[in-house]
Amino acid sequence: MIHCMKTLFIGVLFLFFTNAEAQDIDIVTYELVGNNLGEQENHSVDEEFLYLQEDVDLHLRIWEEFKALIPSSYWDTFVRLQLTTDDLDGTLAAVDKTTFDSSSNEWVLLVDIVDAEDAFATGSPELKNTLIHELGHVLTLSTDQVDWDNPGISLDNESTEEDVSDFFLLQEDCVSGVLVQEGCLNEDSYFNQFFQAFWSQDVFDEHLNFILENTPEEAAEKLYQASPDNYVSDYAATNPGEDVAEWWMYFVILDTSTGNSIKDDKINFFTNSMSW
C-alpha cells in the first residue's frame, strides 16, 4: 500500500466526465447552429441501425429534451450533438470538450440513441437524469472553473510509485491545491468549494488507497460501502468529479433537502453556492 500524505487537501487526478471512448458506434452527428440542429453527418452503420440514423424526429426530440433541462444561457456552450450507441444499456450519455486547453469553452454532447429511444418508449427518467448529470460536469469543468492549460494525470491500480510522485509534483503548482486531469481547479470554482466542504484529508486518503489497490469500479464500491451515508450511490464514490455531478443531478430533481446528514448538505450545497 502506498501512503501519500500532504497538508491541506489533495485533488484526485481523474477524467471526471464520462469517457466518450466507451461509445462504440457513431450513428449521426449534428453541428449545432443557433441552438438548433444544423448540418447532419451520417456515419457508416450496419443495416440494423439505419432506421435510427434516418429518424430525424428522434434526433430532434433528444436535443430538445436536453435544451429543456438547461438554462438558455448555456445552449451556446454546446456546438455538436453526436448520436452513438453501444447497444442497450452501457453508457447513456457523455460530454466532451472540443479542445483540451483554455482557448475555448465549446462542448460536444454524446447520447446513446438506442438508450434514448428506449427511455422515450418506456417513460424511464434515466435519460433525463443522465443529461442533468452531464450538464453538471460542464458546469464544474468549464474554462471559467478550471485551468485547462495545467492538466493533471490519472492514478489507478496500475500506477507506479513514480506516477504517484508525479501526481504530487504537479499538485504543488496548483493554486487551489486541487488538481484534476482536466486542470487546476480555480479557488472560487464550484468544484473546489464542493471538494473543500466534503472531501476532507481522511476521505481523500481513503479514496486514494482504494484506487491504487483496486479497479475503478471496485474502488468506488468499496468506498461507498465504507461510508454509505456520504454518497448517493457507489457511482458517486468513483471520484470527487462524479460525486459533484451526481449531487448536482439530485439537487435539480429535489431542489432542497431538509435533513442534516452529509447527503442533505451535499444537495443544499448548490442552493448556496451556484448562481445562474
- This prediction has a pTM of 0.88
CA dist list (Å): 160 to 2, 148, 156, 231: 10, 25, 9, 28
Provide the pLDDT for residue 13.
41
What is the SS3 assignment for 101? coil
Give the residue-averaged pLDDT of 57-80. Answer: 94
List the alpha helices (DSSP H) in the chain. 50-54, 56-69, 113-122, 126-141, 161-171, 190-198, 201-213, 216-226, 240-254, 262-273
CB 147 within 8 A of CB 186: yes
Give the residue-averaged pLDDT of 221-246. Answer: 92
Which DSSP symbol is given to 234? T
CA dist list (Å): 264 to 36, 193, 244, 267: 37, 16, 13, 5
Quote the CA–CA distance of 111 and 225 in Å, as a whole number: 30
Give the residue-averaged pLDDT of 152-169. Answer: 91
Quote the CA–CA distance of 94 and 137 in Å, as a whole number: 9
Q: Residue 115's beta-bridge partner residues?
A: none
Angle at 271 (CA atoms; ends 268, 272), nearest 5 degrees: 95
Quote the CA–CA distance of 237 and 218 in Å, as a whole number: 10
Identify the residue with better confidence: 274 or 164: 164
Angle at 225 (CA atoms; ends 92, 171), nearest 5 degrees: 75
CB 156 within 8 A of CB 164: no
Give the residue-averaged pLDDT of 161-174. Answer: 90
Q: How confident is the model at residue 41 (pLDDT cuts 50, 70, 90)?
A: very high
Has residue 272 got a pLDDT over 80?
no
Which DSSP symbol is given to 181? T
Percentage above 90 pLDDT, the chain: 66
Quote the CA–CA distance of 136 and 269 in Å, as a whole number: 13
Quote the CA–CA distance of 125 and 109 in Å, as a whole number: 18
pLDDT digits (tens, 9 = 90+) for 5-29: 222 333 344 433 444 444 489 999 9
Nearest to 229 by CA among 193, 209, 203: 203
C-alpha cell at 276: 445562474
C-alpha cell at 269: 450545497
Residue 162 has a CB neighbour count (10 Å cut-off) of: 8
Mean residue pLDDT of the chain comes to 87
Quote the CA–CA distance of 72 and 58 in Å, as a whole number: 21
Pairing of the two strands 78-85 and 36-42: unpaired
Q: What share of the chain is helix, strand, coil (3-state, %, to 5)?
A: 50, 15, 35
pLDDT digits (tens, 9 = 90+) for 70-127: 888 888 999 999 999 998 888 899 999 999 989 999 999 999 999 999 999 999 999 9
